[in-house]
């Protein structure tokens, strides 16, 4: 039995890939080296398609020739009678059987290769429904004006900030999966992907998406970001299709928290600072519940800190626990008044409860912060 990848960031990458494949919008995952981006994408591709069934893997370098992307001449066809000009496209970005193309080190090729990729990411030679979706990996983003058109064709660009790893869990996963692939969790099969792609948006779903995306575009404009028609279309495709996957409904009245989260990656940022700025803009607009949860949790914890600073370390813990319980109860009521089934509400309540437990034990809940 294969072991799962370790780390909460894996869930973010997996969610982005789910949104990408069901919406048919390309995804580029950016992070420092060594965090398993390529292996995570391969695991998702295999779970979705099975091995050797429409999955193309290409690794780029600065020296990668254009032929690696567009194919090589077929010498037999050239020597035939009559002679024919034929490109062998197998295992290239133009592979006619490709459903998912994993482009490793996506930002390393030369400008001529970038020019070919512009065409590959916006196919006009085949029906759009038959075009493969691209999943890229990179350690940095392209910043040149020449590559701007390429960036604009990518709907999702999550910048992953993994944080501190659980070394014991990583070693354990590796030790029990020697020479085997680690796996991600649940991922839709290709049959399920096609069902979501073929879903017809209902009137309620269209209106829900329009309201949130109009507000997002307005906030982007305030930040000096121009939203073009392609980007607005990408937003709708991502938001609608991932919400269909999560809810099983094509005519929904509300948006799932994870569906909204995907839009925090839906801008072609060229560095981590800009990515963080966009995430802040998008979170306040499209993840209203998440923002409210964060604010309410923060407010409750601030009250706890203030109470502890006023009472001092020598205050009776029983009295402090009672007062803390009242604070948490107030916070719980406010969270419940959000009227949402978002799982993050439960997580926030559990976090507040753990603070209460630590103080009841005579511990400082902020000692490690």
Give the pLDDT band (50/70/90) at residue 337. confident
Which range has the worst mean pLDDT, 103-117, 137-151, 349-363?
Answer: 349-363
| CA 108 remoteness from chain centre | 21
pTM over 0.85: no
pLDDT (tens digit, 9 = 90+) per residue, 159-188? 988 766 667 777 777 777 666 777 888 999
pLDDT (tens digit, 9 = 90+) per residue, 145-161? 778 889 999 999 999 88
Q: Which fold has domain 8-192?
A: Rossmann fold (3.40.50)
* pLDDT value of residue 318: 62
Provide the mean pLDDT of the chain. Answer: 84
Mean pLDDT computed over 254-276: 92
Does the pLDDT value for residue 37 go beyond 70? yes
Radius of gyration, alpha carbons of the chain: 24
Q: Are 13 and 37 in contact (CB under 8 A)?
A: yes
Q: Are 100 and 56 in contact (CB under 8 A)?
A: yes
Give the pLDDT band (50/70/90) at residue 268. very high
Q: Are 263 and 216 in contact (CB under 8 A)?
A: yes
Angle at 250 between CA 248 and CA 256, to 5 degrees: 60
Give the pLDDT band (50/70/90) at residue 53. confident
pLDDT (tens digit, 9 = 90+) per residue, 289-336? 677 777 777 887 887 778 777 766 555 556 666 776 777 677 777 777
Most confident of 72-81, 115-124, 144-153, 242-251: 242-251
| CA 213 remoteness from chain centre | 18
Rounded Cα–Cα distance for residues 260 and 38 (Å): 25
């Amino acid at each position: 039995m294969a072991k799962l990848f370790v780390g909460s960031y894996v869930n973010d990458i997996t969610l982005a890939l789910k949104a990408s494949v069901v919406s048919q919008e390309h995804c580029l995952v950016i992070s420092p080296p060594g965090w398993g981006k390529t292996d995570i994408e391969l695991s998702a591709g295999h779970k979705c398609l099975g091995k050797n069934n429409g999955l193309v893997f290409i690794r780029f370098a600065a020296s990668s020739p254009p032929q690696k992307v567009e194919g090589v001449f077929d010498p037999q066809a050239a020597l035939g009678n009559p002679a024919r000009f034929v490109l062998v496209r197998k295992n290239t970005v133009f592979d006619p059987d490709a459903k998912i193309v994993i482009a490793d080190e996506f930002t390393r090729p030369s400008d001529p290769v970038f020019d070919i990729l512009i065409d590959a990411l916006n196919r006009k030679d085949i029906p759009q429904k038959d075009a493969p979706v691209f999943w890229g990996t990179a350690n940095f983003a392209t910043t040149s004006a020449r590559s701007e058109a390429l960036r604009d064709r990518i709907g999702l660009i999550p910048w992953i900030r993994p944080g501190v790893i659980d070394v014991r869990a990583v070693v354990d996963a590796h030790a029990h999966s020697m020479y085997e692939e680690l796996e991600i969790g649940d991922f839709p099969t290709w049959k399920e992907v096609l069902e979501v792609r073929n879903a017809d948006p209902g009137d309620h779903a269209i209106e829900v998406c329009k309201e949130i995306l109009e507000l997002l575009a307005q906030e982007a404009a305030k930040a000096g970001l121009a939203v073009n028609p392609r980007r607005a279309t990408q937003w709708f495709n991502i938001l609608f299709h991932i919400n269909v996957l999560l809810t099983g409904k094509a005519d929904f009245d509300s948006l799932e928290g994870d569906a909204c989260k995907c839009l925090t990656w839906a801008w072609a940022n060229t560095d981590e600072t800009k990515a963080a700025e966009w995430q802040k803009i998008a979170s306040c607009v499209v993840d209203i519940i998440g923002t409210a949860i964060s604010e309410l949790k923060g407010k409750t914890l601030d009250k706890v800190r203030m109470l502890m600073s006023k009472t001092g370390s020598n205050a009776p813990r029983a009295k402090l626990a009672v007062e803390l319980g009242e604070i948490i109860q107030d916070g719980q009521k406010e969270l419940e008044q959000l009227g949402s089934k978002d799982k993050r509400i439960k997580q926030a309540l559990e976090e507040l409860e753990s603070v209460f437990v630590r103080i009841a034990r005579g511990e400082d809940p902020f000692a490690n912060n």
